[in-house]
Copies of this chain bind each other. A is one copy, B any other.
Amino acid sequence: MAAEPGEIADKLLSRQILNEQVVIGRTESGIPFALEDRCPHRFAPLSIGRVVGENLQCGYHGAEFDQTGKCVNVPGQSTAPANACVRSFPVVEKQGYIWIWMGNPELAHDLSSIPACFYRSDDPAWDGGYGHFESLNVNFNLINDNLFDITHAEYVHPESFGAEEMRIYRNSEPGDAYVDQKTTYTVDEREIVFRMQSLNMTGGPFYRWMVATSMGKDEYVDPIDLDMEVSWAAPTFTAFLLNARPAGQPREQGVQVSNMHAITPATEYTSHYFYRSVKDYGPPELIEPFMQGVKAIFEQDKPLLEAQQLRVGEIDLFNQKPVSFAGDMLQQQARRINSRLLEAESA
Chain A residues in the interface with B (C-beta under 8 A): 21, 37-38, 40-45, 48-49, 57-63, 71, 74-77, 81, 83-84, 142, 145, 151-152, 154-156, 166, 170, 303-304, 307-308, 310-312, 317, 320, 322-327
Partner of A325, one of B41, B49, B311, B327: B41
**Distance (whole angstroms) from the CB of A78 to the closest CB of chain B:** 10
Shortest Cβ-Cβ A-B pairs, 10 listed: A43-B311, A84-B323, A38-B311, A40-B323, A43-B312, A44-B308, A45-B307, A62-B155, A81-B323, A76-B170
Contact sample, A vs B, 20 pairs, CB 8 Å cutoff: A38-B311, A40-B322, A42-B142, A42-B145, A43-B317, A44-B307, A48-B303, A57-B155, A59-B156, A60-B152, A60-B304, A62-B154, A62-B155, A63-B325, A74-B326, A75-B327, A76-B325, A76-B327, A81-B323, A81-B325
- Given known contacts A60-B156, A76-B166, what 19 new A-B pairs fall within 8 Å (CB)? A21-B311, A37-B311, A40-B322, A40-B323, A41-B323, A42-B322, A43-B312, A43-B320, A43-B322, A44-B304, A45-B308, A49-B155, A60-B155, A61-B151, A61-B152, A74-B326, A75-B151, A75-B154, A77-B326
CA distance A324 to B151 in the complex (A): 58
Are A48 and B307 in contact, with the CB atoms below 8 A?
yes
**Distance (whole angstroms) from the CB of A122 to the closest CB of chain B:** 33
Number of copies: 3
Closest residue of B by beta carbon distance from A151: B61
Contacting residues, chain B, for A40 (C-beta < 8 A) = 322-323
**Distance (whole angstroms) from the CB of A312 to the closest CB of chain B:** 5
CA distance A322 to B38 in the complex (A): 11
Max chain B CB contacts within 10 Å: which of A44, A81, A145, A326?
A: A44
CA distance A174 to B229 in the complex (A): 75
Contacting residues, chain B, for A62 (C-beta < 8 A) = 154-155
